[in-house]
Amino acid sequence: MRLRRDPESGATMLEFAFAAPLVILLIVGLVEFGFGLIDLQTVASATTSGARVGSAFGSGAGLDVLGPNPDEIIQDAVADGLSDLRSSSTVRELWIFKSNESGDVVDEVNAANKYEAVLAPDGSLTGWNSLQETWPHATRATDLSLSIGTVKRDYLGVRVIFEHEWVTGLLPIRAPTWTDDAVVLIEPVLEG
């Protein structure tokens, strides 16, 4: 009795040899981008927290002159939000900028404060170094003149720039640098 060999068994093995690496790469890619989106969501939450604080304290009106300035309060709010950021992502910069209604930077040279992240040896954020400070908080408009029908308030934007390293290192593409922006209208300080 002679065993008969199926001629299609070799074709099946060849198809598997071609398809398996693509399926594995697809699964690894999904996992990697999932980790990246988790980090992006953490950064988005921190950016939004900084913008909310900036809305309330953006001009510095009503703050104790001996206490922290508005940008330091925004920096602290962003840093607190970034405390949950995974070790595969590294914060590079924080911008506090004058924005327009659509969220664009009005003047990157003359109306943007940029700070570089100071990192501990383990990669955690420990503070901020000033790179550029061209939008003093005292010049931020918060006027609310309802008596004459005009409202003149600036839009304050907060931007966080960060790099996300691939966790597995198996993707054949360079790790991305991502940014997240949040823009708010600076609230007026009503004194009674």
Q: Give domain status of residue 117, yes or no.
A: yes
Residue 112's domain spans which residues? 10-185
Sheet holding 155-164, edge to edge: 125-133, 112-119, 89-99, 155-164, 177-185
Q: Give domain status of residue 5, yes or no.
A: no
Q: Are strands 125-133 and 177-185 parallel, antiparallel or unpaired?
A: unpaired
pTM here is 0.84
Which helix (H) or strand (E) element contains residue 107? Answer: none
CB neighbour burial string for 90-113, b if at least 16 within 10 angstroms, e if fewer = bbeebbbbbbeeeeebeeeeebbb
Work out how many domains the chain is built from and give that number.
1
Q: Give domain status of residue 91, yes or no.
A: yes
- pLDDT for 24-38, tens place per residue? 989 998 999 899 999
Give pLDDT, residue 148: 54
Give pLDDT, residue 187: 83
Q: Which runs of E-coded beta strand occur in 78-154? A: 89-99, 112-119, 125-133, 142-145, 150-153
Reply yes or no on whether the pLDDT at 5 is more than 90. Answer: no
Q: Give domain status of residue 50, yes or no.
A: yes
Q: Give domain status of residue 4, yes or no.
A: no
Reply yes or no on whether the pLDDT at 149 is more than 70. Answer: no
Q: Give domain status of residue 112, yes or no.
A: yes
Query: Residue 183: beta bridge partners?
Result: 157
Q: Give domain status of residue 90, yes or no.
A: yes
> Which residues does 143 contact at the CB level (< 8 Å), separation at least 6?
150, 151, 152, 153, 188
- pLDDT for 173-182, tens place per residue? 888 899 999 9
Q: Give domain status of residue 2, yes or no.
A: no
Q: Is residue 131 a contact partner of residue 93, using CB atoms and an 8 Å limit?
A: yes
